[in-house]
Structure 1
């Protein structure tokens, strides 16, 4: 049975508002709360940019659902040891599971801070080295070469992008956080199959069912891992209102994401927002889940579930966000 999760976008709402919405998601039957992890947002007008790690600490005290990032970048902004320490601490504080969602990153997280933005092959290599460092620091010997983990848990690592010199985490949970890797192509999917408990994607339809999902399963088998044990999550942004045109207009902040801004090294939210003006109505309706009837939401989520996703993380960009949670709880989640 598919899990319906809430995607708490730091870009769209203030951290206190997102805590309220996370609690609303819990009350209305959502099963997990994800949050974005960016330095700059994907748009400029009325945008926010809360720090995900701070927010997650508050979230673990506010509600009891499992929590995670979607997705944390592994490039210049964060050293993998900082990521490992932060999420080990979160898992120590939380009664439920914590998921570290990792990705190759976005330019808007790096170049504004003076870091470079290399081509994809190097970003992928950085992600792999980060995965090795994090797993080693958590003592996850089943995931990495046991030679990386020295006596008493001290880790030394001499990579091309990252180094550890007898580094040790002194605060570790009884069970490591899960790691899910964001994969929109087969190359990164291989890392998910090798190092991760799950993978996250925005791809759906034939692009997912015929290209990405089979690749993950094949790579998992090649690595000697159980492909059925890899949890799959789809990210989708939804807008609901009884007035369809009002619901559609409420997705405007996100329209730039229809213009391939992910792959174009764009880092300034003002310029990214300008790209959204190129979006056609067809692109918008294809990209987002827009509905004026709860039954339409349920039907679309069921269609995603039939593609093979275990989880659907729904971002809420509705004109009345509180109403969306109530509709989901009263008329959608219980019917799926």
Structure 2
């Protein structure tokens, strides 16, 4: 059975509101709460930008479901040793139910803090080195040295570790990063769906897992979807407006200023918006979409609630959608 997760976007609501929504999601039967990890948001108007790691510490006291980042950037402003320490601490405090989601990052996390925004090959190398460092610090009890092209460790050791290390999930929208997910991770997260997923991405993950000697069936697949629900379809459609820039390939462009990113969103067509997001005015339509993605091969569907009435969305999910899946 497909798992339905909640994506708590730090960009759209204050951290305090997101704690309330995480509770509503858990009460409605959502299986896991993810949260975004960015310095700048994906839009400017009425935006927020809470710090994911602080929020997860508070969320662990409010909900009993697993928690994860979707996704932490493995680029400049987070040294992987610090990431390893932070998530080992979160795991120790939260009954070993923490997931570290990693990605090659976005310019919005680096440029505002004075870091360069490198080309994809370097970002991919940084992600691989981060995976190697984090894994070694979690798994090894001795002092660790690491001399990479991007990161280094000199006699580094984690003194606080959980009994079971956190799961690692890697965000992958193409086969190259998918290879890292297949080699190092317990799962992968993507926004890619339909034929591009079934014909290209998912087979690549499975092939790379087999080449690495890993069980491809053991790698969880998570689809991240912006979701909006309302009794009136047009209201639900309009509520997706803050996220329209994500239909314009802003993930791969060196855009860091939320005002510029928001302007890109105004170029979105209705067809792009409706094909990218889950927009619905009936519980049956929401359930049908989730079932369809499950049939594509997704183990989890993480819904980011951008509904005009967020509380109503959780009510409908708990009363009618989740029980029907």
Normalising by structure 2, we get a TM-score of 0.99
Q: Which residue in the other structure is 2:94 paired with?
A: 94
- Residue pair 1:238, 1:288 contacting (<8 A) in 2 also: yes
Q: Which residue in the other structure is 2:46 paired with?
A: 46
Q: Which of 149, 153, 156 in structure 2 is aligned with 1:160? A: 149
Q: Which of 259, 270, 295 in structure 2 is aligned with 1:270? A: 259
Q: Deviations over 1:16-63 (max 9, x none)?
A: 000000000011000000000000000000000000000000011111
Q: Does 2:325 align with 1:332?
A: no
Aligned residues: 325
Q: Does 2:182 align with 1:187?
A: no
Question: C-alpha separation between the residues in 2 aligned to 1:153 and 1:229?
Answer: 29
Question: C-alpha separation between the residues in 1 aligned to 2:272 and 2:214?
Answer: 37
Question: C-alpha separation between the residues in 1 aligned to 2:199 and 2:282?
Answer: 30
After superposing the two structures, state which structure 1 stretch, 186-195 or 95-104, moved more: 95-104
The Cα shift of 1:276 comes to 0.7
- Residue pair 1:64, 1:96 contacting (<8 A) in 2 also: no
Q: Deviations over 1:155-205 (max 9, x none)?
A: 100000000001000000000000000000000000001100000000000
What SS does the corresponding residue of 2:162 show, helix, strand or coil? coil
Q: Does 2:129 align with 1:126?
A: no
Counterparts of 1:1-336 in structure 2, within 5 Å, are 1-139=1-139, 149=140, 152-336=141-325
What SS does the corresponding residue of 1:127 show, helix, strand or coil? helix
Q: Deviations over 1:212-236 (max 9, x none)?
A: 0000000000000000000110000
- Residue pair 1:37, 1:72 contacting (<8 A) in 2 also: yes
The Cα shift of 1:313 comes to 0.4
Q: Which residue in the other structure is 1:144 paired with?
A: none
Question: C-alpha separation between the residues in 2 aligned to 1:76 and 1:16?
Answer: 28
The Cα shift of 1:96 comes to 4.5
Question: C-alpha separation between the residues in 2 aligned to 1:315 and 1:272?
Answer: 19
- Residue pair 2:39, 2:49 contacting (<8 A) in 1 also: yes
The runs of at least 4 aligned residues of structure 1 exceeding 3 Å deviation read none
Q: Deviations over 1:120-176 (max 9, x none)?
A: 00000000000000000001xxxxxxxxx5xx4211000000000010000000000
Question: C-alpha separation between the residues in 1 aligned to 2:56 and 2:70?
Answer: 12
What SS does the corresponding residue of 1:313 show, helix, strand or coil? strand
Normalising by structure 1, we get a TM-score of 0.96
The Cα shift of 1:289 comes to 0.3
Question: C-alpha separation between the residues in 2 aligned to 1:332 and 1:96?
Answer: 28
Question: C-alpha separation between the residues in 2 aligned to 1:232 and 1:276?
Answer: 28
- Residue pair 2:96, 2:162 contacting (<8 A) in 1 also: no
The Cα shift of 1:315 comes to 0.3
- Residue pair 1:40, 1:268 contacting (<8 A) in 2 also: yes
- Residue pair 2:181, 2:188 contacting (<8 A) in 1 also: yes
What SS does the corresponding residue of 1:219 show, helix, strand or coil? helix
What SS does the corresponding residue of 1:278 show, helix, strand or coil? coil
What SS does the corresponding residue of 2:266 show, helix, strand or coil? helix
- Residue pair 2:81, 2:134 contacting (<8 A) in 1 also: yes
Question: C-alpha separation between the residues in 2 aligned to 1:263 and 1:88?
Answer: 30
- Residue pair 2:96, 2:166 contacting (<8 A) in 1 also: no
- Residue pair 1:64, 1:95 contacting (<8 A) in 2 also: no
- Residue pair 2:81, 2:137 contacting (<8 A) in 1 also: yes
